[in-house]
Amino acid sequence: MTTAEGLLPELGSRREYFDYLDGWSAGTVDALAEGQSPRALVKTYMLETVRDGHDPRALADRFPRSRVRLQPVDDESLFEVHDLAAGGIVGLIEVVNERHPVLYTQLPAAQSDAWVRRTVDASPWLDRLWLAAPTLSQLWEYVKASADPGRYTRMAFEHEAFYDRDDLMALPIDDEVDAAPNVLQAEDAPQVERRTSRSMLVERIGVISESLERLAETYRPFHSLVQLQLPAAGRGGHVLYHDGKVTNRSDSFADHRQQVVFVTDVYRRLTEAAENLLWFSAEASSAGGGFRLRGAPVFMRFSSPLSAATFERWLSAVFERRPNRFRLSGYVFRLAETKAHISAIDHHLWQPLLLEVSAHHLLAVLPAGTCGNTIHRLVTNVQRFLDPAVEAWLGEERYEDAVATVVKEELAG
């Protein structure tokens, strides 16, 4: 029914496809349980498009049409993803909500990661979901509240002091660009010496719950949560990655899909609440002329000041080198050795972003219309590459509290 490369067979309906993925999930997890995994796990990649009403393009037109074709299955909520180069169906796209299509695939991880990266990079209308550490932390609170403390989970933490390197500007561009998503799985990656922390805990929920706070107090990289397993309703669970990938390590695709829908709904609420709060624009005063400015900045306070050298390397690498890990460029106005105002543009979504950066903080102003995903990506990247314990605020509200609020709202229905 399928090819060795993990392409999907051509089936006739949503039900047939979901039954197929369900059977595949059970078989794969059984094999894993026996210590053999000849088959790739089902993986989901949660994607971001644009807010309702902000672009009239059909979903199919947001993918690079020269290579990718979406073919509806039953209706306009599920599509086969035909890749011309791969010569078949690489996965299914489901529109779980209008803003967030998700890709289900059983390609081997290295292939599916590369496919998603290539596809997203080629379109300014697509991005991944960026689950910053405060978001994963609040989902961890959900895990504690919804699963037996005796169940196992896994959490991974990662921080790479990339901009502490003296030889940064001499690095080949590929090293700069390669943010190495899911680097904890990249066993065969070449080892480069720099201050890097990668830790994974596989433990009972109750045990982690008792010790995590103390760990983070004594070792800052434990603030930088990049993977979290949501326990499944049955066996196993669903591993969420910071870049919007979810691996199904349960025996049920239906349960996997439910968890994916839950996370995308939380994310959508968070992003749109953030956009409503943050978007800066001038608007007419109620009467009498004049205007008012509405909006709020994103503010990030570093847990300790960046050294002048790190600040300089970061600024140079991000704004003088393209491409770079932050996927930004811009015009830098230096006000002091460690303070600058920057008219920036997000190279992925091609949306402007206004920044003040110093050794102590980063302040971002989002012009109205700039996708809130840009902020999630910025917070994620600052945490991974600059300061694992950075504290982020959306206006006057802590980022983490904003996530907690939307998780509560989602749970309340």
Partner 1 sequence: MKVATDVLLADPVFQLNVVLWTVQPLPPTAPIEPVLRRAGYELHAVGPPLPAAPSARPALLMLVGSADAPKPDVVLAHHTDPSFLVVECKAQGFGSGGAGERQVVKLLAAAHSLNGPLGLPVNPDRPGYVAYLTVAPEHSMLLVTLLGAQERLREEGVAPGGAGTLGLHAEDDGVWVDAGQVDEWPPPAAAALANRVRIVSFSSPGEDPRPFYLIPWVPDVAGGQDPQLAAFGKAVLGANVLNAAKSAVGRADVPGPVVMRMDRLLHDATLGVTDFWRDRDDYRLLLRACQDFVARPLRGIESRITLVVSSGPELVQFTLPSETVRDEVLALLHGASPAAFEPSGTATLFDVQ
Please answer whether residues 368 and 280 qualify as being in contact, where contact means their C-beta atoms are separated by less than 8 angstroms: yes
The pair of structure tokens assigned to 120 is 């997203």
**Residues 6 or more apart in contact with residue 324 via CB below 8 angstroms:** 176, 177, 317, 318
Taking phi first (over 0 means left), then psi (-120 to 50 degrees means alpha), and beta for anything else, what does residue 350 get?
left
246 binds partner 1 (CB under 8 A): no
Please answer whether residues 93 and 79 qualify as being in contact, where contact means their C-beta atoms are separated by less than 8 angstroms: yes
Partnered with residue 388 across adjacent β-strands are none
Please answer whether residues 353 and 347 qualify as being in contact, where contact means their C-beta atoms are separated by less than 8 angstroms: no
Among 52, 335, 408, 411, binds partner 1 (CB under 8 A): 335
With contacts defined by CB under 8 A, name the span among 5-13, 92-100, 266-274, 345-353 that binds partner 1.
345-353
- Specify the 3-state DSSP secondary structure of 332: strand
Report the alpha-carbon angle 327-324-313, nearest 5.
120
Largest CA distance in the chain: 75
393 binds partner 1 (CB under 8 A): yes
Among 4, 170, 293, 412, binds partner 1 (CB under 8 A): 293
391 binds partner 1 (CB under 8 A): yes
Q: With CB under 8 A as the rule, give the number of residues binding partner 1.
A: 56
296 binds partner 1 (CB under 8 A): yes
Minimum Å distance from CB 361 to partner 1? 7
Cis peptide before 323 (omega within 30 of 0): yes
Minimum Å distance from CB 277 to partner 1? 8
Minimum Å distance from CB 37 to partner 1? 39
With contacts defined by CB under 8 A, name the span among 102-110, 141-149, 219-227, 344-352 that binds partner 1.
344-352
Q: What is the dihedral of CA 198, 213, 133, 109, to 10 degrees?
A: 40
282 binds partner 1 (CB under 8 A): yes
204 binds partner 1 (CB under 8 A): no
Minimum Å distance from CB 338 to partner 1? 9
Q: Please provide the size of the chain in residues.
A: 413
Binding mask 348-377 for partner 1 (x = CB under 8 A): -xxxx-xxx-xxxx-x-x-xx---------
Q: Interface with partner 1 by CB under 8 A: which residues?
A: 124-125, 277, 280-293, 295-297, 299, 301, 305, 329-331, 333-336, 339, 341, 343-345, 347, 349-352, 354-356, 358-361, 363, 365, 367-368, 391, 393, 395-396, 398
